[in-house]
Structure 1
Amino acid sequence: MPGGRLTEEDRRHIASGLAAGLDYAQIARRVGRPTSTVTREVARNGGPGGYRADLAQRATRRRARRRIATAPQRLSEAIYGRDEETVREFAEQFAALMVDSGLPRMAARVLASLFTTDSGSATAAELARRLQVSPASISKAVAYLGGLEVIRRAREGRRERYAVDDNVWFEAWSDSARTTNQWAQAAERGAEIFGATTPVGARLEHMGLFFARLGRDIAGGPVDTAAGEHALTVIAALVQAGTPLTPEQLAAALDWPLDRVSSALHDGERHPDLADPVAVRGNEAGAYYVVARHDRLTTAQRRRLARNAS
């Protein structure tokens, strides 16, 4: 019902809508939900290029089961026999790595403290005692981390408890993949503007190829055998068809459920190594097709091949 929690069927409709190239507002109308609900659901579960209905459903169940623990840290130390000084030293080293990556020092210390606590959570007072800093310092740090969406808040009586988000690394990975692809596209566009045979164009093209391959490695990630086989079957169907097909047309041709086709298309896009040397692409009409992978050929090679074909 509108305003209630998304169901498994809702998530299948969202996955199908993304595969068909619909925007969030169109998908929201299909499932009868606010656009903001669909936007948050997709962002929380891999983004438009990585959303999977089954994975999103499992992640939601895990979050529903999870309860923020309130037991003090010393209980874990007693149970597991940890040395308090060794744990503190590791947390500081962990925080130093985050600082080297660009995170402000206090925010890094707070995040490292949460990660090295079995509950993964703490109140501001607990963090202040643990890190031996003022409550104001903790307040600024958690506000910063909250803005990055790497921690979440929960009410605990009159206090707030802060907890690490289990999806933080996946979301960081997704952001990294998007940024890398943006660099690749910008460099490729620059190579076209300056001309691949000029020094500037050649330099930009080399840069674009590097970031395209780096993005492919980041975006690839692991894929299980069954999912990989489904993606290869869909790619083979697109090659055989020789014309763009919608997920619905593919599902009918392969006699597969639409959800399986949608997942296979997502895997084909997210794991370019599966489709090598071709790549899966979608058009504005929501249909999919295959093309020669862009980073396999330089601009000059593509132009010479185009002249031979004409």
Structure 2
Amino acid sequence: MPGDRLTDEDRQHIAAGLAEGLGFTEIGRRLGRPGSTIMREVARNGGPEGYRAQRAQEATRQRARRRRQAKPPAPPIGDSSHGRDPQAVQDITQAFATLLEQQGMPRMAARVLACLHVTDSGILTAADLVQRLRVSPASISQTVALLEQQGLIKRERAPGGRRERYVVDDDLWVRSTLAALRMNESLAAHSQRAADVLGAATPAGARFGLAAQFLLLVNESLGQVMRQWQEGQADRQS
């Protein structure tokens, strides 16, 4: 049946069809399977010239055996300092990453940011992140570049060493909000310009005009919040 695993008999038919000079589509039609299935089977087992049914069957068994014997991934690392339950730490880290992802952040960026955020130091190296997240160094490098560009983390050299480390501090959401303010200002300015070009009385122009008004109102409120926060921080430090 289409979708089922190829059997030894199927592979015998494939080898016979190739010997007849049949194409993948015709062989698939005779077996009741997509031609793409036949093409992948032949490509991974020697190609049209080197395909042998018995050898392909044995290679499939070996691949299945290796998958069964593969070691399960190491359990995630949780923070057990300060008497914390490592599993509870891991759960809250995953929940925070999921929330960030639902807000539109790319999955890997959300995982890296959450991983940094739950550490007391707020500092991890690339090797730390690779170990904790079980991903490749390349994935970490690309993700860190994105987060740094957005001002969500900082990159610095470890004292007395050559390794870089990545830092998230208490001002993370302050910087994120300031970035949002700047973006809103730019969007509001462009929206107002579009309204002027299109004509404020036209449907399209009115749409842009309303957008500009809303964004300016949001920025006014956010700006007030930022001032209150900064005044509160100054009072606590005095």
CA offsets, 1:150-189, max 9 Å, x none? 2222224243322214433222211211221222222222
Aligned-residue offset at 1:222? 4.9
* TM-score normalised to structure 1 length: 0.43
Match of 1:183 among 177, 184, 187: 187
Q: Superposition pairs for residues 125-140 of structure 1, below 5 Å?
A: 125-140=127-142
Unaligned runs of 5+ in 1: 1-72, 228-310
Distance (Å, rounded) in 1 between the aligned partners of 2:183 and 2:128? 36
Name 2:168's counterpart in structure 1.
164
Computing the radius of gyration from Cα coordinates, the structure with the larger value is: 2
Name 1:142's counterpart in structure 2.
144
Distance (Å, rounded) in 1 between the aligned partners of 2:103 and 2:176? 13
Residues 88 and 134 (structure 1 numbering): CA distance in 2 closer, same or farther, change over 3 Å?
same
Residues 162 and 185 (structure 1 numbering): CA distance in 2 closer, same or farther, change over 3 Å?
closer
Distance (Å, rounded) in 2 between the aligned partners of 1:158 and 1:190? 49
| Identity across matched positions, percent | 40
| Secondary structure of the structure 1 residue equivalent to 2:80 | helix
Q: Superposition pairs for residues 12-23 of structure 1, below 5 Å?
A: none
Q: Superposition pairs for residues 48-87 of structure 1, below 5 Å?
A: 77-79=80-82, 81-87=83-89
Aligned-residue offset at 1:96? 1.7
Q: Superposition pairs for residues 239-258 of structure 1, below 5 Å?
A: none
Distance (Å, rounded) in 2 between the aligned partners of 1:95 and 1:210? 30
Distance (Å, rounded) in 1 between the aligned partners of 2:196 and 2:144? 44
Q: Is 1:152–1:164's contact at 8 Å kept on the other side of the alignment? A: no
- Alpha-carbon RMSD across the aligned residues, in angstroms, is 2.6
Structure 1 outlier segments of 4+, above 4 Å: none
Q: Is 2:155–2:164's contact at 8 Å kept on the other side of the alignment? A: no
Q: Is 1:180–1:212's contact at 8 Å kept on the other side of the alignment? A: yes
Residues 217 and 129 (structure 1 numbering): CA distance in 2 closer, same or farther, change over 3 Å?
same
Name 2:6's counterpart in structure 1.
none
> Larger RCO: Structure 1 or Structure 2 (Cα < 8 Å, ≥ 6 residues apart)?
1
Distance (Å, rounded) in 2 between the aligned partners of 1:136 and 1:202? 46
Residues 118 and 208 (structure 1 numbering): CA distance in 2 closer, same or farther, change over 3 Å?
same
Is 1:192 matched up with 2:196?
Answer: yes
Is 1:100 matched up with 2:102?
Answer: yes
Is 1:207 matched up with 2:211?
Answer: yes
Aligned-residue offset at 1:91? 0.8
Residues 165 and 118 (structure 1 numbering): CA distance in 2 closer, same or farther, change over 3 Å?
closer
Work out the number of aligned pairs and report it: 151
Match of 1:90 among 76, 89, 92: 92
Residues 216 and 114 (structure 1 numbering): CA distance in 2 closer, same or farther, change over 3 Å?
same
